[in-house]
Structure 1
Amino acid sequence: MSTLEEVVVANNNFTVGLANKMMSDENIVLCPLSMLTALALVCLAAKGKTETQMKKVLHFESCSDIHSGFKQLLPTLINSDEYMLRINNTLFVEKSLNLSEAFINVSKTWYNSKPGMLDFKNHPRSAWEYIINWLKGNTEGNFESMPENSVDNDTNLVIINTAYLLANWTQSFPLTNTENAPFTKSNNEKVHMELMSVEGNFNIREIKDQMLSIIELPYGKRKNLRMYVILPDQYDGITKIKQNLTYEQLNDWTDPDKMKKEFIEVGLPHFKIDSTYSMKNVLYRMGMTYVFSDTKSNISEISDESLYVSDVINLVTMQADEDGTEETTNADDEFGFLSLKLPQTTYTADHPFIFIIRDLLSKCFLFYGVFQKP
């Protein structure tokens, strides 16, 4: 395996690990890659049991050159003329701590990132305001807030990572088709949603033994970016899928070569999910405990003083509308003649489902989400 492939496999395994632990009744969207990139920077500085735990949770144990792999992967994902993917990561550290010049230089070289020094101890409110301004200035206004209790005067080091995507469907959903429709939540409660629909040729697959079906919704002309909607047969089937999901399954389910192209009618909720998560407890449950401990953490390559991670804050926004985003549609010309046909079947996401956005060329999972209610 190349170093790039090793990092992709680590990211995809990490995605499944997060999926298994993110148990919530709310809508969820995560960018595991943005978290993995930020945590790789900390792992670069970790020693002893802290390093061992981090490498295990992040699936870096078999990676020969983690940082070179990220250096190769990220530009291939970010530098696209068909979509806009933005990932930002910064470590904010208590200003009274002395940082290693070697670490600062390495973080610039490998991740184009420089740690920010803030006075959490004496002025946590001002530190919080600084981070808010950083968010506004570095995310084109996509993120302008964060819970004030995300930092306090005991904050030692906080990792802020953000991710958002602007991309248009290969085949847009006609605005005139959007209608009010019922949606059944996992508790069998019926609510209403805006349901988008379109007829076209789409890759689809049914996994009978898992009682679910998957559809592939590509973006752009070249279709290198694709959303996979994983829909259980039953309205309350989402919990079982999340708890039992494996890397092998998710890799297999999102393999376009194992799907069948059919002319179908697709129904998908019109949604936007804005998520801000404190990931400390999730990562802790996954086995990364030492790095969050003021007495056990060993990230001495950052500073020879006592240093530990106070939290990892993940901010992600994801939208699905008729065009895919607010931009102009980029429809595939091949769909023009299909209006003369009748759909063979329908695929309607009218109850909770999982969605994955994957880059076809690298096979990297970019976003993981769960839509549970309008």
Structure 2
Amino acid sequence: MVLKTAEALQISNSSSQFTNNLYNILAGTSPGNIVFSPVSLHAVLSMVYQGAQDTTAEKFASSLKVPDAKVASDGYSVIMKRLTYIPNVTLLMAIKIYLMEGHPVLPDFSETVTNNFLCDVQLLNFCDQAAAAATINTWVEEKTQEKIMNLVNKEDFDESTQLVLVNAIYFKSRWRHAFDKGATKTEPFYLNDTDSVPVQMMYMKRRCYHNSIMELEAQMLELPYANGNLSMVIILPFERNGIAELEKKLTTVNLAKITNEVYNPPITVALPKFKIEQTIDLKDSLTKLGLGEIFDRSAANFSGMVTSKEPLHVSKVIQRAFIEVSEEGSDPPPVPAAAAGRRRRGRLCHVEGPDMFFTADHPFVFMLLEKSTGTHILFTGKIMNPQL
């Protein structure tokens, strides 16, 4: 277990690099709000990695930042067990491999997927498009307690479809400290230097983990959820129109360690309510990331997955992520005065001022972190307009 825990930490760092690279690609193709789940996507790709051979395996190693399939398998054997049940949190993950009928799965591959990733492989007849879509949608709806509906359409499949990777994730939790519902009010959210939209802005004042990161030209705020291993991190540019520059600079940052140097002053937090749900077909983005070979019928090698000699390739990788931010919290007793201002991790970065404010009234990046075995990025994205 010690070795596997060490490999879970390695997956944490690998997933951080993967997240940076994929976020950069998605941000370049979408000017609006973004949300995706790095951990569920990295997990499902790591599952398929178990069946890859030769240059296809090399592409997985390079893109996932994991040296070999066994490291991925052993790391996720710890991570997936931790994510399956997190107290005080609703985290519903639907991760599965769907394979065209006629491709019997190798026992070793099936055993690894089942035991280490807590998932399975299901054979489907994609030629019956409506039935295939209904099967996948019904399973996702059951796994997410009907929070995520109609993930795929029958038009997503045809007679050439062979391998479909599905991952959907829903998150809901109370904050450790609630925002004051009575303080929420309509205020402007600035889309740029001049244009704004009205939003419901939430307020609270208490000690929060915070830092001003000068190399990013941004503030960072960490808000804990009721479960102490989970938190939301908001990275807010100093300037109203600073989101593009922030995204460029984030590509060089280890996101798994971004909260290592923080302090906890009394601070007034203003954060807009938002709800974001997004479905992403990831074929183009993963191709840009370096995984184009897995989609290539003539080049992909998944001979470690199936017994049949017929070439197999990935046809579709689809993800839907859903997250909502509102005032509700669990509100345990406040931190004793003796603990106030205590250094958390790393050095104390700033001298505490009398009145500090974190006002997220312009575009920002967010991450939802889980820290029981390393730091795993459950969600990340950006809010360009909370109204959308």
Distance 1:41 1:334, change over 3 A: same
* TM-score (norm: length of structure 1): 0.91
Quick one: which amino acid aligns to residue 20 of structure 2? Answer: V
Aligned equivalents of 1:209, 1:53: Cα separation in 2? 32
Matches of residues 41-80 of structure 1 in structure 2 within 5 Å? 41-61=47-67, 65-80=71-86
Matches of residues 157-168 of structure 1 in structure 2 within 5 Å? 157-168=163-174
Quick one: which amino acid aligns to residue 331 of structure 1? Answer: D
> Which residue of 360, 368, 371 maps to 2:380?
368
Aligned equivalents of 1:187, 1:291: Cα separation in 2? 43
Output one character per residue of 1:296-324: Cα deviation in whole Å (capped at 9) or x when no partner: 1101112232211011111110110011x
Counterpart contact for 2:217–2:246, Cα < 8 Å: no
- Say yes or no: does 1:174 pair with 2:174: no
Deviation of the 1:249 alpha carbon: 4.5
| Correspondence for 2:35 | 29
SS at match of 1:260: coil
SS at match of 1:370: strand
Counterpart contact for 1:46–1:299, Cα < 8 Å: yes
Q: Which runs of 5+ in 2 are unaligned?
A: 338-352
Aligned equivalents of 1:356, 1:250: Cα separation in 2? 9
Matches of residues 270-349 of structure 1 in structure 2 within 5 Å? 270-303=273-306, 304-323=309-328, 329-334=329-334, 344-349=355-360
Aligned equivalents of 1:187, 1:265: Cα separation in 2? 23
Greater shift after overlay, 45-54 or 101-110?
101-110
Counterpart contact for 1:98–1:305, Cα < 8 Å: no
Quick one: which amino acid aligns to residue 61 of structure 1? Answer: P
Counterpart contact for 2:17–2:254, Cα < 8 Å: no
* TM-score (norm: length of structure 2): 0.87
Greater shift after overlay, 59-68 or 27-36?
59-68
> Which residue of 257, 260, 263 maps to 1:260?
263
Aligned equivalents of 1:343, 1:119: Cα separation in 2? 65
| Correspondence for 2:350 | none
Counterpart contact for 1:83–1:166, Cα < 8 Å: yes
Counterpart contact for 2:46–2:69, Cα < 8 Å: no
Deviation of the 1:188 alpha carbon: 4.3
Where do 4+ consecutive residues of structure 1 move more than 4 Å?
none
Counterpart contact for 1:225–1:357, Cα < 8 Å: yes
Counterpart contact for 2:206–2:266, Cα < 8 Å: yes
| Correspondence for 1:224 | 229
Counterpart contact for 2:256–2:377, Cα < 8 Å: no
| Correspondence for 2:347 | none
Percentage of pairs with the same residue = 24
Counterpart contact for 1:78–1:84, Cα < 8 Å: no
SS at match of 2:290: coil
Output one character per residue of 1:16-64: Cα deviation in whole Å (capped at 9) or x when no partner: 1111111212211111110111111110000111110111100112686
Quick one: which amino acid aligns to residue 359 of structure 1? Answer: E
Aligned equivalents of 2:180, 2:319: Cα separation in 1? 33
- Say yes or no: does 1:236 pair with 2:241: yes
| Correspondence for 1:326 | none
Distance 1:7 1:249, change over 3 A: closer
Aligned equivalents of 1:84, 1:113: Cα separation in 2? 19
Quick one: which amino acid aligns to residue 20 of structure 1? Answer: N
> Which residue of 118, 134, 150 maps to 1:129?
134
Quick one: which amino acid aligns to residue 367 of structure 2? Answer: I
SS at match of 1:318: strand
- Say yes or no: does 1:350 pair with 2:356: no
Aligned equivalents of 1:163, 1:142: Cα separation in 2? 9
| Correspondence for 2:18 | 14
SS at match of 2:66: coil
Aligned equivalents of 1:273, 1:150: Cα separation in 2? 23
> Which residue of 3, 8, 22 maps to 1:4?
8
Aligned equivalents of 2:247, 2:212: Cα separation in 1? 17
Distance 1:204 1:308, change over 3 A: same
Counterpart contact for 1:188–1:235, Cα < 8 Å: no
Counterpart contact for 1:3–1:64, Cα < 8 Å: no
Counterpart contact for 2:187–2:201, Cα < 8 Å: yes
| Correspondence for 1:359 | 370
Distance 1:294 1:188, change over 3 A: farther
Counterpart contact for 1:53–1:288, Cα < 8 Å: yes
Counterpart contact for 1:264–1:343, Cα < 8 Å: no
